[in-house]
Copies of this chain bind each other. A is one copy, B any other.
Amino acid sequence: MEKVSLPKGTRDFGPTQMAKRLFLINSIKKVFQKYGFQPLETPAMENLSTLTGKYGEEGDQLLFKILNSGDFLKDVEAAKLETRNSKLITSDIAEKGLRYDLTVPFARYVVMNRHEITFPFKRYQIQPVWRADRPQRGRYREFYQCDADVVGTDSLLCETEIILMIKEAFASLGIADFSIKINHRAILSGLAEIVGAAQNESALFVAIDKLDKIGEEKVKEELKAKGFDDASLTLLFDILNFKGTTAEKVDFLTTKFSSSEKGKKGLSDFSEVLSLLKKFGATDEHVEFDISLARGLSYYTGCIFEVKISNVGVGSVSGGGRYDNLTAVFDSKEKSSGVGFSFGIDRLYDAMEELKIFPKEASAASTVLVAHLDEESFTFGLKIAQSLRDRNVACEIYPDQSKIKKQLEYADKKKIPFVIVIGSEEVKTGQLTLKKLESGQQLKLTFQEIADAMQLYK
Protein backbone atom coordinates (compact mmCIF):
# COMPACT_ATOMS: atom_id res chain seq x y z
CA MET A 1 0.00 0.00 0.00
CA GLU A 2 1.23 3.45 -0.92
CA LYS A 3 1.74 5.52 2.21
CA VAL A 4 -0.59 8.48 2.29
CA SER A 5 -0.57 11.41 4.64
CA LEU A 6 -1.70 14.99 5.03
CA PRO A 7 0.66 17.95 4.67
CA LYS A 8 1.92 19.12 8.09
CA GLY A 9 -0.37 21.57 9.83
CA THR A 10 -3.43 20.72 7.74
CA ARG A 11 -6.55 18.83 8.75
CA ASP A 12 -9.46 16.87 7.36
CA PHE A 13 -12.81 17.70 8.89
CA GLY A 14 -14.90 14.53 9.02
CA PRO A 15 -18.69 14.49 9.40
CA THR A 16 -18.79 14.88 13.20
CA GLN A 17 -16.46 17.90 13.24
CA MET A 18 -18.08 19.37 10.13
CA ALA A 19 -21.52 19.28 11.71
CA LYS A 20 -20.24 21.24 14.70
CA ARG A 21 -18.23 23.64 12.54
CA LEU A 22 -21.26 24.28 10.36
CA PHE A 23 -23.40 24.93 13.42
CA LEU A 24 -20.81 27.44 14.62
CA ILE A 25 -20.31 29.15 11.28
CA ASN A 26 -24.01 29.25 10.38
CA SER A 27 -24.93 30.74 13.76
CA ILE A 28 -22.41 33.55 13.24
CA LYS A 29 -23.47 34.06 9.60
CA LYS A 30 -27.08 34.54 10.68
CA VAL A 31 -26.06 37.29 13.08
CA PHE A 32 -23.94 39.04 10.44
CA GLN A 33 -26.84 38.96 8.00
CA LYS A 34 -29.33 40.21 10.55
CA TYR A 35 -27.16 43.32 10.98
CA GLY A 36 -26.97 43.97 7.26
CA PHE A 37 -23.55 42.47 6.51
CA GLN A 38 -23.22 40.88 3.09
CA PRO A 39 -21.12 37.90 2.03
CA LEU A 40 -17.93 38.22 0.00
CA GLU A 41 -15.56 35.54 -1.28
CA THR A 42 -12.16 36.19 -2.80
CA PRO A 43 -9.86 33.69 -4.54
CA ALA A 44 -7.43 31.52 -2.58
CA MET A 45 -4.63 32.79 -4.80
CA GLU A 46 -3.58 36.43 -4.99
CA ASN A 47 -0.76 37.98 -6.98
CA LEU A 48 2.31 38.09 -4.76
CA SER A 49 2.53 41.81 -5.50
CA THR A 50 -0.79 42.17 -3.67
CA LEU A 51 0.38 40.21 -0.62
CA THR A 52 4.06 41.02 -0.21
CA GLY A 53 5.00 43.80 2.20
CA LYS A 54 1.61 43.85 3.91
CA TYR A 55 2.42 41.63 6.89
CA GLY A 56 5.94 42.71 7.77
CA GLU A 57 9.10 40.81 6.96
CA GLU A 58 8.09 37.81 9.03
CA GLY A 59 4.73 37.65 7.27
CA ASP A 60 6.40 37.65 3.86
CA GLN A 61 8.37 34.57 4.96
CA LEU A 62 5.17 32.83 5.94
CA LEU A 63 3.39 33.32 2.62
CA PHE A 64 2.82 30.12 0.66
CA LYS A 65 4.03 30.82 -2.88
CA ILE A 66 2.77 29.04 -5.97
CA LEU A 67 5.26 27.84 -8.52
CA ASN A 68 4.63 29.30 -11.98
CA SER A 69 3.23 26.78 -14.45
CA GLY A 70 5.22 25.36 -17.32
CA ASP A 71 8.93 26.00 -17.75
CA PHE A 72 9.30 28.26 -14.73
CA LEU A 73 13.11 28.41 -14.97
CA LYS A 74 13.09 29.64 -18.57
CA ASP A 75 13.43 33.33 -17.81
CA VAL A 76 15.67 33.15 -14.74
CA GLU A 77 19.05 34.70 -15.50
CA ALA A 78 21.84 32.14 -15.42
CA ALA A 79 23.94 34.29 -13.10
CA LYS A 80 21.05 34.64 -10.69
CA LEU A 81 20.41 30.91 -10.68
CA GLU A 82 24.08 30.25 -9.95
CA THR A 83 23.89 32.27 -6.75
CA ARG A 84 21.49 29.59 -5.42
CA ASN A 85 19.91 32.39 -3.45
CA SER A 86 16.35 31.17 -2.93
CA LYS A 87 15.06 34.56 -1.80
CA LEU A 88 16.45 36.28 -4.86
CA ILE A 89 14.96 33.75 -7.26
CA THR A 90 11.50 33.43 -5.68
CA SER A 91 9.92 36.34 -7.49
CA ASP A 92 11.13 34.96 -10.84
CA ILE A 93 9.53 31.56 -10.40
CA ALA A 94 6.44 32.38 -8.32
CA GLU A 95 3.96 35.11 -9.21
CA LYS A 96 1.11 34.03 -6.99
CA GLY A 97 0.65 33.22 -3.33
CA LEU A 98 -2.06 31.86 -1.05
CA ARG A 99 -4.22 34.30 0.91
CA TYR A 100 -2.60 35.03 4.32
CA ASP A 101 -5.59 36.78 5.88
CA LEU A 102 -8.95 38.21 4.75
CA THR A 103 -8.14 41.88 5.33
CA VAL A 104 -5.72 42.45 2.46
CA PRO A 105 -7.94 40.67 -0.10
CA PHE A 106 -10.86 42.74 1.20
CA ALA A 107 -8.87 45.96 0.79
CA ARG A 108 -7.92 44.85 -2.73
CA TYR A 109 -11.58 44.12 -3.51
CA VAL A 110 -12.64 47.56 -2.26
CA VAL A 111 -9.95 49.30 -4.35
CA MET A 112 -10.82 47.32 -7.48
CA ASN A 113 -14.58 47.81 -7.10
CA ARG A 114 -14.80 51.21 -5.43
CA HIS A 115 -16.94 52.67 -8.22
CA GLU A 116 -19.57 49.92 -7.95
CA ILE A 117 -19.66 49.61 -4.17
CA THR A 118 -22.29 51.55 -2.21
CA PHE A 119 -20.69 52.90 0.95
CA PRO A 120 -20.89 52.36 3.86
CA PHE A 121 -20.02 48.83 2.72
CA LYS A 122 -20.72 46.06 5.21
CA ARG A 123 -19.20 42.75 4.29
CA TYR A 124 -18.51 39.46 6.02
CA GLN A 125 -16.11 36.84 4.76
CA ILE A 126 -15.57 33.31 6.07
CA GLN A 127 -12.78 31.50 4.25
CA PRO A 128 -9.59 29.58 4.96
CA VAL A 129 -6.20 31.30 5.02
CA TRP A 130 -2.73 29.74 4.81
CA ARG A 131 0.47 30.46 6.72
CA ALA A 132 3.75 28.57 6.51
CA ASP A 133 4.10 28.77 10.27
CA ARG A 134 5.64 26.04 12.39
CA PRO A 135 2.62 23.91 13.32
CA GLN A 136 1.90 23.39 17.01
CA ARG A 137 -1.07 22.72 19.29
CA GLY A 138 -3.87 25.02 18.15
CA ARG A 139 -1.78 26.53 15.33
CA TYR A 140 -2.38 25.28 11.81
CA ARG A 141 -1.09 26.05 8.34
CA GLU A 142 -4.64 26.16 7.01
CA PHE A 143 -7.35 27.69 9.17
CA TYR A 144 -10.57 29.63 8.74
CA GLN A 145 -10.92 33.32 9.39
CA CYS A 146 -14.32 34.88 9.90
CA ASP A 147 -14.30 38.66 9.44
CA ALA A 148 -16.91 41.39 9.36
CA ASP A 149 -16.08 45.01 8.46
CA VAL A 150 -17.86 48.26 7.70
CA VAL A 151 -15.94 50.73 5.58
CA GLY A 152 -16.89 54.21 4.55
CA THR A 153 -18.24 55.66 7.78
CA ASP A 154 -16.76 56.78 11.08
CA SER A 155 -20.06 56.51 12.93
CA LEU A 156 -19.67 54.96 16.37
CA LEU A 157 -22.90 53.14 15.67
CA CYS A 158 -20.72 50.51 13.99
CA GLU A 159 -18.68 49.90 17.14
CA THR A 160 -21.88 49.60 19.12
CA GLU A 161 -23.38 47.14 16.66
CA ILE A 162 -20.24 45.01 16.91
CA ILE A 163 -20.89 44.67 20.63
CA LEU A 164 -24.50 43.72 19.92
CA MET A 165 -23.41 41.16 17.32
CA ILE A 166 -20.88 39.54 19.63
CA LYS A 167 -23.49 39.27 22.36
CA GLU A 168 -26.04 37.82 19.96
CA ALA A 169 -23.59 35.35 18.41
CA PHE A 170 -22.57 34.08 21.84
CA ALA A 171 -26.19 33.78 22.91
CA SER A 172 -26.97 31.66 19.86
CA LEU A 173 -23.89 29.50 20.51
CA GLY A 174 -24.87 29.02 24.15
CA ILE A 175 -21.77 30.77 25.53
CA ALA A 176 -22.92 32.56 28.70
CA ASP A 177 -19.78 33.57 30.53
CA PHE A 178 -17.57 35.93 28.56
CA SER A 179 -16.28 39.48 28.52
CA ILE A 180 -15.90 41.97 25.70
CA LYS A 181 -12.88 44.04 26.64
CA ILE A 182 -12.85 47.48 25.08
CA ASN A 183 -10.29 50.22 24.91
CA HIS A 184 -9.47 53.06 22.53
CA ARG A 185 -6.22 53.89 20.81
CA ALA A 186 -6.63 57.55 21.78
CA ILE A 187 -6.99 56.55 25.43
CA LEU A 188 -3.68 54.72 25.11
CA SER A 189 -2.18 57.77 23.41
CA GLY A 190 -3.52 59.94 26.23
CA LEU A 191 -1.91 57.60 28.70
CA ALA A 192 1.39 57.88 26.82
CA GLU A 193 1.08 61.66 26.86
CA ILE A 194 0.48 62.03 30.57
CA VAL A 195 3.29 59.66 31.51
CA GLY A 196 5.60 61.63 29.21
CA ALA A 197 5.97 58.91 26.59
CA ALA A 198 4.22 60.59 23.66
CA GLN A 199 7.38 60.09 21.58
CA ASN A 200 7.70 56.48 22.63
CA GLU A 201 4.12 55.27 22.22
CA SER A 202 4.74 52.00 20.47
CA ALA A 203 7.30 50.77 23.04
CA LEU A 204 4.71 51.53 25.70
CA PHE A 205 1.86 49.73 23.88
CA VAL A 206 3.99 46.67 23.12
CA ALA A 207 4.92 46.41 26.79
CA ILE A 208 1.37 46.95 28.07
CA ASP A 209 0.10 44.32 25.64
CA LYS A 210 2.21 41.75 27.50
CA LEU A 211 0.81 42.51 30.96
CA ASP A 212 -1.50 39.51 30.80
CA LYS A 213 1.28 37.15 29.89
CA ILE A 214 4.38 38.30 31.79
CA GLY A 215 2.95 40.36 34.68
CA GLU A 216 3.54 43.82 36.09
CA GLU A 217 7.13 43.39 37.28
CA LYS A 218 8.49 42.18 33.95
CA VAL A 219 6.64 44.94 32.09
CA LYS A 220 8.15 47.52 34.45
CA GLU A 221 11.64 46.11 33.83
CA GLU A 222 11.11 46.27 30.10
CA LEU A 223 9.93 49.88 30.26
CA LYS A 224 12.80 50.92 32.55
CA ALA A 225 15.20 49.46 30.02
CA LYS A 226 13.53 51.65 27.43
CA GLY A 227 14.13 54.80 29.46
CA PHE A 228 10.92 55.17 31.50
CA ASP A 229 11.64 56.71 34.91
CA ASP A 230 10.15 55.67 38.25
CA ALA A 231 7.69 58.58 38.42
CA SER A 232 6.25 57.72 35.00
CA LEU A 233 5.94 54.07 35.91
CA THR A 234 4.19 54.82 39.19
CA LEU A 235 1.70 57.08 37.43
CA LEU A 236 1.23 54.53 34.66
CA PHE A 237 0.46 51.65 36.98
CA ASP A 238 -1.75 53.80 39.22
CA ILE A 239 -3.93 54.15 36.14
CA LEU A 240 -3.60 50.62 34.77
CA ASN A 241 -4.37 49.11 38.17
CA PHE A 242 -7.37 51.31 38.91
CA LYS A 243 -10.29 49.10 39.91
CA GLY A 244 -13.89 50.11 39.62
CA THR A 245 -17.02 50.03 37.51
CA THR A 246 -16.91 51.32 33.97
CA ALA A 247 -18.42 54.63 35.10
CA GLU A 248 -15.83 54.95 37.87
CA LYS A 249 -13.03 54.24 35.39
CA VAL A 250 -14.36 56.90 33.03
CA ASP A 251 -14.59 59.45 35.87
CA PHE A 252 -11.11 58.61 37.08
CA LEU A 253 -9.59 58.97 33.62
CA THR A 254 -11.48 62.21 32.97
CA THR A 255 -9.57 63.85 35.81
CA LYS A 256 -6.26 62.37 34.63
CA PHE A 257 -6.83 63.43 31.02
CA SER A 258 -7.61 67.10 31.78
CA SER A 259 -4.53 68.10 29.78
CA SER A 260 -4.67 65.44 27.04
CA GLU A 261 -6.84 66.17 24.01
CA LYS A 262 -6.27 62.63 22.68
CA GLY A 263 -7.25 61.09 25.98
CA LYS A 264 -10.44 63.19 26.08
CA LYS A 265 -11.37 62.19 22.54
CA GLY A 266 -10.88 58.50 23.37
CA LEU A 267 -13.04 58.76 26.49
CA SER A 268 -15.75 60.63 24.63
CA ASP A 269 -15.88 58.00 21.87
CA PHE A 270 -16.03 55.23 24.41
CA SER A 271 -18.81 56.95 26.39
CA GLU A 272 -20.74 57.51 23.17
CA VAL A 273 -20.59 53.78 22.39
CA LEU A 274 -21.99 52.99 25.84
CA SER A 275 -24.68 55.59 25.38
CA LEU A 276 -25.67 54.17 21.98
CA LEU A 277 -25.81 50.71 23.52
CA LYS A 278 -28.38 51.99 25.99
CA LYS A 279 -30.36 53.71 23.23
CA PHE A 280 -30.52 50.39 21.38
CA GLY A 281 -32.25 49.04 24.47
CA ALA A 282 -29.26 46.85 25.34
CA THR A 283 -27.29 46.66 28.58
CA ASP A 284 -23.53 46.91 29.02
CA GLU A 285 -23.48 43.43 30.52
CA HIS A 286 -20.32 41.56 29.38
CA VAL A 287 -18.71 44.87 28.37
CA GLU A 288 -15.51 45.64 30.24
CA PHE A 289 -13.48 48.82 29.90
CA ASP A 290 -9.89 47.54 29.92
CA ILE A 291 -7.36 50.38 29.97
CA SER A 292 -4.52 47.91 29.49
CA LEU A 293 -5.90 46.41 26.28
CA ALA A 294 -3.50 47.43 23.51
CA ARG A 295 -3.78 44.84 20.71
CA GLY A 296 -0.72 44.41 18.56
CA LEU A 297 -1.87 45.63 15.19
CA SER A 298 -0.60 49.10 14.61
CA TYR A 299 -3.23 50.05 12.02
CA TYR A 300 -5.98 50.48 14.63
CA THR A 301 -6.80 54.11 15.33
CA GLY A 302 -10.02 54.11 17.38
CA CYS A 303 -11.91 51.65 19.58
CA ILE A 304 -10.32 48.23 20.00
CA PHE A 305 -12.03 45.02 21.16
CA GLU A 306 -11.05 41.64 22.44
CA VAL A 307 -13.35 38.88 23.64
CA LYS A 308 -12.50 36.20 26.18
CA ILE A 309 -14.54 33.28 27.36
CA SER A 310 -14.27 32.59 31.09
CA ASN A 311 -13.02 29.27 32.43
CA VAL A 312 -11.62 27.85 29.22
CA GLY A 313 -8.04 27.31 28.21
CA VAL A 314 -8.16 29.18 24.91
CA GLY A 315 -7.04 32.77 24.35
CA SER A 316 -9.20 35.52 22.93
CA VAL A 317 -11.89 34.22 20.55
CA SER A 318 -12.76 37.49 18.86
CA GLY A 319 -11.18 40.86 18.37
CA GLY A 320 -11.10 43.91 16.20
CA GLY A 321 -11.11 47.65 16.07
CA ARG A 322 -11.39 50.83 14.05
CA TYR A 323 -8.81 51.78 11.45
CA ASP A 324 -8.37 55.02 9.56
CA ASN A 325 -7.44 53.78 6.18
CA LEU A 326 -8.03 50.22 5.06
CA THR A 327 -6.92 50.70 1.48
CA ALA A 328 -3.86 52.83 2.17
CA VAL A 329 -1.56 49.97 1.15
CA PHE A 330 -2.99 50.07 -2.36
CA ASP A 331 -4.30 53.57 -2.75
CA SER A 332 -2.96 56.50 -0.80
CA LYS A 333 -5.43 59.03 -2.20
CA GLU A 334 -8.75 57.62 -1.15
CA LYS A 335 -9.33 57.27 2.59
CA SER A 336 -11.57 54.51 3.76
CA SER A 337 -12.17 54.57 7.49
CA GLY A 338 -13.77 51.52 8.89
CA VAL A 339 -14.17 49.15 11.75
CA GLY A 340 -13.97 45.39 11.74
CA PHE A 341 -13.84 42.35 13.92
CA SER A 342 -13.38 38.66 13.54
CA PHE A 343 -14.25 35.41 15.27
CA GLY A 344 -11.60 32.75 15.74
CA ILE A 345 -13.48 29.71 14.50
CA ASP A 346 -10.92 27.16 15.71
CA ARG A 347 -10.70 28.65 19.18
CA LEU A 348 -14.47 29.01 19.49
CA TYR A 349 -14.77 25.36 18.45
CA ASP A 350 -12.24 24.30 21.08
CA ALA A 351 -13.93 26.42 23.74
CA MET A 352 -17.36 24.95 22.96
CA GLU A 353 -15.93 21.43 23.07
CA GLU A 354 -14.30 22.19 26.42
CA LEU A 355 -17.56 23.58 27.77
CA LYS A 356 -19.48 20.68 26.18
CA ILE A 357 -22.12 23.04 24.84
CA PHE A 358 -22.48 21.92 21.23
CA PRO A 359 -26.19 21.13 20.94
CA LYS A 360 -27.33 17.68 19.87
CA GLU A 361 -28.68 19.14 16.65
CA ALA A 362 -25.10 19.92 15.62
CA SER A 363 -24.95 16.44 14.15
CA ALA A 364 -24.53 15.38 10.56
CA ALA A 365 -26.41 12.13 11.12
CA SER A 366 -29.75 11.32 9.55
CA THR A 367 -32.71 11.35 11.91
CA VAL A 368 -34.06 7.96 10.89
CA LEU A 369 -32.72 4.70 9.49
CA VAL A 370 -35.23 2.36 7.87
CA ALA A 371 -34.09 -1.21 8.58
CA HIS A 372 -35.66 -4.26 6.96
CA LEU A 373 -35.79 -8.00 7.58
CA ASP A 374 -36.42 -9.29 4.04
CA GLU A 375 -36.94 -8.15 0.50
CA GLU A 376 -40.64 -7.47 0.89
CA SER A 377 -39.89 -5.29 3.92
CA PHE A 378 -37.17 -3.49 1.97
CA THR A 379 -39.64 -2.66 -0.81
CA PHE A 380 -42.18 -1.50 1.77
CA GLY A 381 -39.45 0.54 3.47
CA LEU A 382 -38.62 2.48 0.31
CA LYS A 383 -41.98 4.23 0.41
CA ILE A 384 -41.64 4.88 4.14
CA ALA A 385 -38.22 6.46 3.61
CA GLN A 386 -39.43 8.62 0.78
CA SER A 387 -42.52 9.75 2.67
CA LEU A 388 -40.33 10.88 5.57
CA ARG A 389 -38.07 12.79 3.17
CA ASP A 390 -41.17 14.40 1.67
CA ARG A 391 -41.75 15.73 5.19
CA ASN A 392 -38.18 17.06 5.34
CA VAL A 393 -36.93 14.37 7.70
CA ALA A 394 -33.35 13.29 6.93
CA CYS A 395 -33.69 9.59 6.38
CA GLU A 396 -31.75 6.60 5.08
CA ILE A 397 -32.78 3.11 4.17
CA TYR A 398 -30.08 0.50 4.64
CA PRO A 399 -29.01 -0.26 1.06
CA ASP A 400 -28.21 -3.97 1.35
CA GLN A 401 -30.10 -7.06 2.46
CA SER A 402 -28.13 -7.56 5.66
CA LYS A 403 -28.71 -8.99 9.10
CA ILE A 404 -30.75 -6.70 11.32
CA LYS A 405 -27.87 -6.62 13.80
CA LYS A 406 -25.59 -5.11 11.18
CA GLN A 407 -28.20 -2.52 10.27
CA LEU A 408 -28.66 -1.49 13.90
CA GLU A 409 -24.89 -1.28 14.35
CA TYR A 410 -24.73 1.01 11.34
CA ALA A 411 -27.28 3.34 12.94
CA ASP A 412 -25.54 3.15 16.27
CA LYS A 413 -22.07 3.96 14.93
CA LYS A 414 -23.40 6.79 12.79
CA LYS A 415 -25.38 8.14 15.79
CA ILE A 416 -28.66 7.98 13.89
CA PRO A 417 -31.12 8.40 16.78
CA PHE A 418 -34.15 6.48 15.44
CA VAL A 419 -34.59 3.20 13.56
CA ILE A 420 -37.81 1.98 11.98
CA VAL A 421 -37.63 -1.81 11.84
CA ILE A 422 -39.76 -3.39 9.15
CA GLY A 423 -40.62 -7.08 8.96
CA SER A 424 -43.50 -9.07 7.46
CA GLU A 425 -45.74 -8.22 10.43
CA GLU A 426 -45.23 -4.49 9.84
CA VAL A 427 -45.88 -4.85 6.12
CA LYS A 428 -49.14 -6.66 6.88
CA THR A 429 -50.52 -4.38 9.60
CA GLY A 430 -48.91 -1.00 8.76
CA GLN A 431 -48.08 -0.69 12.47
CA LEU A 432 -44.37 0.18 12.48
CA THR A 433 -41.74 -0.38 15.15
CA LEU A 434 -39.83 2.77 16.08
CA LYS A 435 -36.69 2.18 18.09
CA LYS A 436 -34.93 4.98 19.95
CA LEU A 437 -31.34 3.80 20.01
CA GLU A 438 -30.09 5.82 22.98
CA SER A 439 -32.66 4.46 25.41
CA GLY A 440 -33.51 1.21 23.63
CA GLN A 441 -37.16 2.25 23.92
CA GLN A 442 -39.46 0.68 21.30
CA LEU A 443 -42.90 1.83 20.21
CA LYS A 444 -45.52 0.50 17.80
CA LEU A 445 -46.78 3.44 15.81
CA THR A 446 -48.48 4.24 12.53
CA PHE A 447 -46.49 6.02 9.85
CA GLN A 448 -48.37 9.23 10.53
CA GLU A 449 -47.54 9.09 14.22
CA ILE A 450 -43.86 8.55 13.44
CA ALA A 451 -43.83 11.34 10.87
CA ASP A 452 -45.38 13.72 13.40
CA ALA A 453 -42.94 12.75 16.13
CA MET A 454 -39.94 13.20 13.80
CA GLN A 455 -40.86 16.82 13.15
CA LEU A 456 -39.42 17.56 16.58
CA TYR A 457 -36.05 16.05 15.66
CA LYS A 458 -35.51 17.46 12.17
- Report B-chain residues with C-beta under 8 Å of the C-beta of A84: 73-74, 76, 81
Interface stretch of the complex, out of A187-195, A328-336, A436-444? A328-336
Q: How many copies does the complex hold?
A: 2
Question: Which residues A19-49 have CB closer than 8 A to chain B?
Answer: 19, 22, 33-36, 38-47, 49
The smallest beta-carbon distance between A36 and chain B, in angstroms, is 4
Q: In chain B, what residue has the closest Cβ to A160?
A: B382
A238 at the interface (CB under 8 A from B): no
A57 at the interface (CB under 8 A from B): no
Interface stretch of the complex, out of A2-10, A196-204, A261-269? A2-10
Judging by beta carbons under 8 Å apart, are B36 and A366 in contact? yes
Judging by beta carbons under 8 Å apart, are B1 and A330 in contact? yes
Judging by beta carbons under 8 Å apart, are A86 and B111 in contact? no
Question: Which residues A351-373 have CB closer than 8 A to chain B?
Answer: 364-366
Interface stretch of the complex, out of A63-71, A240-248, A293-301, A449-457? A63-71
Judging by beta carbons under 8 Å apart, are B395 and A282 in contact? no
Give the interface size class of chain A.
Answer: 35 or more
Q: Could you jot down 28 A-B contacts, CB within 8 Å?
A: A1-B333, A4-B47, A4-B108, A4-B111, A5-B112, A7-B95, A7-B96, A10-B45, A13-B39, A18-B40, A19-B38, A19-B39, A34-B389, A35-B394, A35-B396, A36-B366, A61-B70, A64-B69, A66-B98, A73-B86, A120-B400, A150-B399, A155-B399, A168-B389, A280-B382, A281-B382, A281-B383, A281-B386
- Give residues in A with beta carbon < 8 Å to B: 1-2, 4-7, 10-15, 18-19, 22, 33-36, 38-47, 49-50, 61-62, 64-67, 69-74, 76, 81, 84-86, 89-90, 93-96, 98, 108-109, 111-113, 116, 118, 120, 122-123, 128, 130, 132, 141-142, 150, 153, 155, 157-158, 164, 168, 276, 279-282, 329-333, 364-366, 379, 382-383, 385-387, 389, 392-397, 399-400, 410, 413-414
